[in-house]
Structure 1
Amino acid sequence: MNYKIDFVKNRNRFFALSIAITVLGILTLLIFNLNYGVDFRSGTTLDITVGKTIANTEAEAKADAEKLLSGGEIPQPKIVTLGGNNDRVTARYDRVLNQDESEKIIANFKSAFGNQVTYEENTVDVEMAKELAFKAMQAIAYASIGIVVYVSIRFEWRFAIAAIAALLHDAFIVISFFSILRLEVNLPFVAAVLTIIGYSINDTIVIFDRIRENLRFAKLKKFSDLAEVVNRSIWQTMTRSINTVLTVLVAAVCLLIFGSPAIRLFSLAMIVGLVSGAYSSIFIASPIWILLKNRSLSSKKTAAAK
């Protein structure tokens, strides 16, 4: 059967594209590391509600502790964002502010907007930041292990290896994207990665389930027979895969455009991960499985020849 795209035949091109992005991501990580947010490094976040619209430049000036405090030791806010109807300011500092420093910053806002100003202060110390980073990695590792066990039980170990390779591919693509563009990595980013893993494995399982179904009626004698099964299975599930991804992608794009700044990076991570997940389910997971399956086919031929 002729296909518009022969996924198996062109597998090396897809592998090369993923490897190129991965290598670029590794180099960026080695040189620049990730741009960790306050969640993963010590610091203070002030969420200040001023009760009326405020311009971004004014918010930055009011939150600039260096201009407020003597000694020159206090850092400028790492990032200042506006939320709500531009009446809520989020200022993040690279180190933990003491009570006097926080009060002077709030007093600066109250002098401009009156006593209607309210605020919430969140502080992460060094040990807590390390623990959060460790717990985040733990969560991703546990999720990956659980998926491997599930796929191994429901299908076979070759499917499990292909699935986990696709999942790691998706997670690292998102990490590489954030590293290359120097975007902030925080707890919502971890939530996005875990969500991406869930959607990615869903797409992969749909294709694997169809491959398993088609294998029941296939006579496997050579590699081309396996390629026929995989290509047919991918095309049979293509419409479902595209529709599923597009549905979630539209929601993620709407959150990116219309959502608050607090979830903007979460939405961006979701968009990158969803595209990567759809790509890996079709172009990475199935070709990896066929390479593993072909080895067992070759082994049976060798055993039969003896």
Structure 2
Amino acid sequence: MTTEQDSTDLDSHTDLGTLPHHSFFNRLYTGTGAFEVVGNRVMWFRITGAIIAIAILSIVLRGFTFGIDFEGGTRIQLPADGATEQSVENLYSTTLGHEPVAVQTVGAGSSKTIQIRSEALNAEQSNKLQNALFTKFQPKDREGRVSADAISIADVSSTWGGQITQKALIALVVFLAIVAAYITFRFERFMAISALSALVFDLTVTAGVYSIIGFEVTPATVIGMLTILGYSLYDTVVVFDKVDENTRGIQHLTKRTYGEQANLALNQTLMRSINTTIIGIIPVVSMMIIAVWLLGVGTLKDLALVLLVGMIVGAYSSIFFATPLLVWMKERWGPVAVHTKKVLARRASSGTSKAAVASAPVPANVKKTAPSAPRPGARPAGKRNKNRH
């Protein structure tokens, strides 16, 4: 079926009075254009702007909770047999005269350990703390013998975390450059701009969530941030591919606008985006459960957190931000803007009431006019006078 035939079929079902009533899930699965996303883009732009503003304010005012790999310090670890987080924290404070940065439990069962994150300790402080922990908890090594060697103390430099961040930023710049070149070559520059804007949105909001909730930023978090960019980009390209298919040759048609066809593409790929997000989230949630209940906090949890947040944010941006932004740019510059004005002017002159008109902005020089009322006694159009020979 051609694009013009599709347009005709869709127009026959978009009259406000004849739109068939279907259940929410029926409209969701059929993807017939019943959900107006592009037409409500001003609302979505406001919501998106508010989300970005909150994220940036949190980043500026609250900042991030950086892990030991970024800030440096000393990491102390001992078996949790007979030790608790509170008792270890109290002993640390009594021995060294200051509070530790963090005390947490890692693992489960026989491999359960207590980890202490501290500011950098010198050799005297480390030995003093190790002796106090050994005297209090009598930890056992892997062979089951009571030994001070069961307590491990390691100094962590912030240089390594800085190197990871620097390499991640370089990878991010290269990634965005390749993405921009590919989408511009495969589709067009406006789609490239929209896709990159969605990626920046994903990064900003994910970072903002980490700042608001106080998640610890680790090297695993940085790696996860790069991972969610690929996920978000995949979802956006799928939608753009359908938009490109639906709008091919749109300038030669006069029944529907670019925005209406783009909204149809969103509806046709909406269920796919939802399914992809749900299927992606399920193993991530499972990984978080394993990390929290079985293995304790650590690298696995950090990676799962950023993936969970990024997938949800990426799904939102591909549906409610990238495509509406694309339509907003297309319908203000270039031949699509001229075509949209022609379509709306044609509708206004004919007085046609269309639900799809809401998916494209009405230019200031185009006024919607209602059909004039018939004169009293006038014959219906198309009727011949029977008395006329």
Normalised by the length of structure 1, the TM-score is: 0.85
1:297 aligns with 2:335: yes
* In structure 2, distance between residues paired with 1:223 and 1:88: 68
What are the equivalent positions in structure 2 for 1:207-222 lying under 5 Å apart? 207-216=239-248, 218-219=250-251
Q: Deviations over 1:79-129 (max 9, x none)?
A: 122111162122212x3222333333333333313341253625114x445
Structure 2 CA distance for aligned equivalents of residues 92 and 224 of structure 1:
62
Pick aligned residue for 2:174 from 142, 156, 162: 142
Q: Using the TM superposition, give the Cα deviation of residue 11 of structure 1 relative to its aligned residue in structure 2, in angstroms.
A: 0.8
In the other structure, the counterpart of 2:60 is 30
Deviation at 1:165, TM superposition (A): 0.3
Confirm or deny: 8 A CA contact 2:277 2:311 kept in the other structure: yes
Structure 2 residues without counterparts, runs of 5 or longer: 1-9, 15-32, 142-149, 340-389
| Contact 1:53–1:85 (Cα < 8 Å) also in 2 | no
**Could you tell me how far apart the structure 2 residues matched to 1:122 and 1:212 are?**
55
Change over 3 Å in CA distance of 1:298–1:269 after alignment to 2: same
Counterpart position of 2:314? 277
Mapped partners of 2:168, 2:288: distance in 1: 23
SS in 1 for 2:258: helix
Letter in 1 for 2:284: A
State the Cα distance separating 1:58 from its structure 2 match.
2.9
Letter in 1 for 2:132: N
Q: Deviations over 1:25-81 (max 9, x none)?
A: 2222222222222222232223x241636433234335x2x4213xx4xx5221122
Shift of 1:250: 1.0
Amino acid aligned to 1:177: V
Contact 2:218–2:302 under 8 Å retained in 1: no
The letter of the residue matching 2:95 is L
Q: Which amino acid aligns with 1:39?
A: D
Which residue number corresponds to residue 57 of structure 1?
A: 86
Q: 1:299 to 1:104 in 2, by over 3 A?
A: same
Q: CA 1:156–1:267 in structure 2 vs 1: closer, same or farther (change >3 Å)? A: same
Aligned-pair distance for 1:289?
1.2
- Count of matched residue positions in the alignment of Structure 1 and Structure 2: 294
Bigger share in helix: 1
Residues 251, 336 of structure 2: 8 Å contact kept: no
What is the Cα deviation at residue 135 of structure 1?
Answer: 3.1
Whether the 8 Å CA contact 2:258–2:336 is kept in 1: the answer is: no
Whose radius of gyration is greater, 1 or 2? 2
* 2:80 and 2:114 in contact (8 A); partners too: no
Which amino acid is 1:261 matched to? V
Question: Structure 1, unaligned stretches of length 5 or more?
Answer: 302-306
What is the 5 A alignment of 1:1-306?
1=10, 2=14, 3-46=33-76, 48-50=77-79, 52=81, 54-62=83-91, 64=92, 66-69=93-96, 72=97, 75-85=98-108, 87-93=112-118, 95-111=119-135, 112-116=137-141, 117-119=150-152, 121-125=154-158, 127-216=159-248, 218-219=250-251, 225-259=257-291, 260-262=296-298, 263-294=300-331, 295-297=333-335
Deviations 1:126-147 (A, max 9, x none): x445444433333333322222
Q: Hey, what's the Cα distance between the residues in 2 that align with 1:31 and 1:110?
A: 41
CA-to-aligned-CA distance 1:196-216 (integer Å, 9 cap, x gap): 111100100111111122223
- 1-structure distance, mates of 2:74, 2:256: 59
Amino acid at match of 1:119: S
Which stretches of structure 1, 4 residues or more, deviate above 6 A after TM superposition? Answer: none
Q: What residue in structure 2 maps to residue 304 of structure 1?
A: none
CA distance in 2, matches of 1:13, 1:203: 22
Cα RMSD (Å): 2.7
Q: How many angstroms apart in 2 are the aligned matches of 1:122 and 1:18?
A: 42
Distance 2:282 2:312 in 1: 12
Distance in structure 2 (CA, Å) of the matches to 1:235 and 1:282: 9
Q: 1:96 to 1:149 in 2, by over 3 A?
A: farther
Find the aligned partners of 1:152 and 1:53 in 2 and give their Cα distance: 61
Which SS does the other structure have where 1:9 is aligned?
Answer: helix
User: Matches of 1:53 and 1:144 in 2, distance apart?
Assistant: 51
The answer on whether the counterparts of 2:84 and 2:114 sit within 8 Å (CA) in structure 1 is no
* Closer, same or farther: CA 114–282 of 1 in aligned 2, 3 Å: closer
TM-score normalised by structure 2 residue count: 0.68
Q: Deviations over 1:224-268 (max 9, x none)?
A: 511122111111111221111101111111222231311334322
Taking the aligned partners of 2:44 and 2:259, their CA distance within structure 1 comes to 16
In 2, the alpha carbon distance for the partners of 1:222 and 1:78 equals 66
